[in-house]
Amino acid sequence: DAKTTQPPSMDCAEGRAANLPCNHSTISGNEYVYWYRQIHSQGPQYIIHGLKNNETNEMASLIITEDRKSSTLILPHATLRDTAVYYCIALNTNAGKSTFGDGTTLTVKP
């Protein structure tokens, strides 16, 4: 699975969009981009994933660059409850193994 790079921390004002970047320049053709978030002392929660097309669900939007070397998770209207650590990973779950980096700590401020 490809290595991912994320900024260690970001701030966002409540009600504004939070844009979380992720670099995955070594991603292979059969690896998807997954985003998770973790609130303290809980298991990571799945948010969204995609292969090459942009994706949207009730939680967030995922924008993947055309060359697939980077992506951005967008929380359109951040709330205080969105404060968490966000992990981006590139993997193929059919292959079994998966590793997580240290993620981005997003702090939503009132």
Partner 1 sequence: SQTIHQWPATLVQPVGSPLSLECTVEGTSNPNLYWYRQAAGRGLQLLFYSVGIGQISSEVPQNLSASRPQDRQFILSSKKLLLSDSGFYLCAHAAGDNSPLHFGNGTRLTVT
Q: How far is the CB of 88 from partner 1 (least distance, A)?
A: 11
Task: Between 32 and 74, name the residue whose CB sits nearer to partner 1.
Answer: 32
Q: How far is the CB of 15 from partner 1 (least distance, A)?
A: 28
Q: How far is the CB of 10 from partner 1 (least distance, A)?
A: 16
Task: Between 17 and 56, name the residue whose CB sits nearer to partner 1.
Answer: 56
Check if the beta carbon of residue 110 is closer than 8 Å to that of residue 84: no
Q: Which residues contact 43 (CB under 8 A, 6 or more apart)?
A: none
Q: How far is the CB of 104 from partner 1 (least distance, A)?
A: 11
Residues forming contacts to partner 1 in the complex (CB under 8 A) are: 32, 34, 36, 41-46, 49, 51, 87, 92-94, 96-103
Hey, what are 88's tokens?
């981006």
To which H or E segment does residue 86 belong?
Answer: strand 84-91
d(CA 78, CA 4): 24
The CA-based angle 49-106-80, given to 5 degrees, is: 100
Task: Between 65 and 93, name the residue whose CB sits nearer to partner 1.
Answer: 93
